[in-house]
Amino acid sequence: MKGWRSPLANQTFEQYGLKPFIYKGIEALRFAEPTPIQRNIIPLILKGESAIGQSQTGTGKTHSYVIPILNRIDVNKKEVQAVITAPTRELATQIYQAFQKIAKESDEDIVVRHFVGGTDKKRDVERLKIPPHIMVGTPSRMADLIGDNAISVHKADIFVVDEADLMLDMGFINDVDRIASSMPEKLGMFVFSATIPEKLKPFLKKYMENPEYVHIEPKRLSAANLDHLLIPVKSRDKVDVVHDLLVAFNPYLAVVFTNTKQKADEVANKLLEKGLKTGRIHGDLPPRERKKMMKQIHDLEYQYIVATDLAARGIDIEGVSHVINYELPSDLDFYIHRAGRTARAGASGICATVYAPSDEDSIARLEQRDIIFRHGDVRNKEIIETADRNRRKKRERKDDTVDPKVRAITSRPQKVKPGYKKKRKFEVAKQQKRQRRIDARKK
């Protein structure tokens, strides 16, 4: 490899002076240039500093730490050098695979292992007899392995906490704390989170002293090729509306989002009763069933999936052409995450929301975030365009310059008497003439 020059020599990844095998991996992934989050995070990890990264889904966050961590690994040290935690088994597996895709380009053996709940713990302990260079996994399983002295992380100087706010929501922050407390005091910690809730701040303050804060504001809150569609419930059953929408869309793959696990099961069961082969993803599924479900989804056995927000951020499902909000999330940031499941990598997509009058406030707040909704309805299992729900509010008021007394006169009377039009026209002309005389005297 001596003297090897990357085909990306003219691209900005070159500025980091990475190892040649990493450029081969970048080329295989067809990355043209670093994304904003990568431009900010890669140099910090290479220098061993700490940072909090806040960016929306689909910004290249995972490779912002995968690339520099692989560059820093010393293969001659047979010890754990980096620990990466993720809130779900699926996300941990995806991160592990991202490491593997680049690490396999190295002539030297970089050992990456991943450890998640729902698998044989004894087998994990056996695998740890040869310490990996990089550990990726869910916090509970890795905290247990460290607590049982199956592996030592006291020399690992890089710790990544991915999807930290989701980690907090799912109750894993104490396990993350257990892992961090087993690591060196001088630690490069990188916390990635879509939001920074107040409850997360004590953890950040405990382990991070004056970290860099990297906040990548999206150029657009949603993809340019993504349509946002509003469908009113009216007096219909909501599941019926969703069913008819799915049939009308005939999607490649559609995800229907609910706010709770119970509602996800309820909607999935009703869609099954209506003849749609429907999968489901939520946190209450047993590990084996969830793994089987993910395999079936990737094998395209399901055209329709009902999910909680676990699938908006904790799981990456490829090929989603349509997203349907059975109900809007209370945290509207999750609307963006849900919509971000479709219209990826240049593809187009549709995010449809089935709404009731009680959702008007949330819709208005999304519109304030520059989300532009189209309006439609589903009739006879076909989608039709409808008028803007706010069309009456948006009508321009006429005669805004007319004196209030004139406007009062021009208001149509509740009971129409014979000759009222002629009389009204005379009164308006009289008032306008009077107003002109008043204005002339003022001048």
Alpha-carbon gap, residue 443 to 440, rounded angstroms: 5
| 6 confidence band (pLDDT: 50, 70, 90) | very low
Same domain flag for 28 and 142: yes
Same domain flag for 171 and 304: no
Note whether 228 and 377 are within 8 A (CB): no
Q: Which two tokens stand for residue 89?
A: 């088994």
Same domain flag for 319 and 340: yes
Residue 389: its pLDDT value, please? 79
Residue 442: its pLDDT value, please? 54
Alpha-carbon gap, residue 39 to 215, rounded angstroms: 12
Q: Is the pLDDT of residue 428 over 70?
A: no
Residue 221: its pLDDT value, please? 57
Mean pLDDT for 79-99 is: 95
Same domain flag for 147 and 183: yes
Higher-confidence residue of 380 and 391: namely 380
Q: Among the three residues 152, 181, 215, which one is the final residue of a domain in this structure?
A: 215
Q: Which two tokens stand for residue 17?
A: 């002076």
| 337 confidence band (pLDDT: 50, 70, 90) | confident
Same domain flag for 272 and 369: yes
| 440 confidence band (pLDDT: 50, 70, 90) | low
Mean pLDDT for 157-161 is: 97
Same domain flag for 249 and 282: yes
Alpha-carbon gap, residue 69 to 334, rounded angstroms: 29
Mean pLDDT for 384-388 is: 90
Whether 3 is in a domain gets the answer no
Residue 317: its pLDDT value, please? 83
Give me the torsion for CA of 224, 229, 230, 235, rounded to 10°.
-170
Q: Is the pLDDT of residue 403 over 80?
A: no
Alpha-carbon gap, residue 164 to 403, rounded angstroms: 59
Same domain flag for 208 and 276: no
Query: Of all helices (H) and strands (E), which one includes residue 160?
Result: strand 158-161
Q: Which two tokens stand for residue 387?
A: 């008028």
| 390 confidence band (pLDDT: 50, 70, 90) | confident
Backbone angles phi, psi at 89, to 5 degrees: -60, -40
Which tens digits make up the pLDDT trace of 226-244? 999 999 999 999 999 999 9
Residue 197: its pLDDT value, please? 81
Q: Which two tokens stand for residue 65?
A: 């730490």
Q: Among the three residues 215, 249, 281, which one is the final residue of a domain in this structure?
A: 215
Residue 2: its pLDDT value, please? 34
Least confident stretch, 21-35, 286-300, 336-350, 400-414: 400-414
Residue 99: its pLDDT value, please? 98
Whether 44 is in a domain gets the answer yes
Domain residues for 426? Answer: 404-442
Same domain flag for 346 and 315: yes
Over the range 186-224, which residues count as b (16 or more CB within 10 Å of their CB) and which as e? Answer: ebbbbbbbbebeeebeebbeebbeebeebebeeeebbbe
Structural domains in the chain (count): 3
Which tens digits make up the pLDDT trace of 160-191? 999 998 898 888 999 999 999 999 999 999 99
CATH number at residue 361: 3.40.50.300
Which tens digits make up the pLDDT trace of 292-331? 998 898 888 999 999 998 777 777 788 899 999 999 998 8
| 262 confidence band (pLDDT: 50, 70, 90) | very high
pTM of the entire predicted model: 0.70
Alpha-carbon gap, residue 99 to 82, rounded angstroms: 12
High-pLDDT (> 70) share of the chain, %? 83
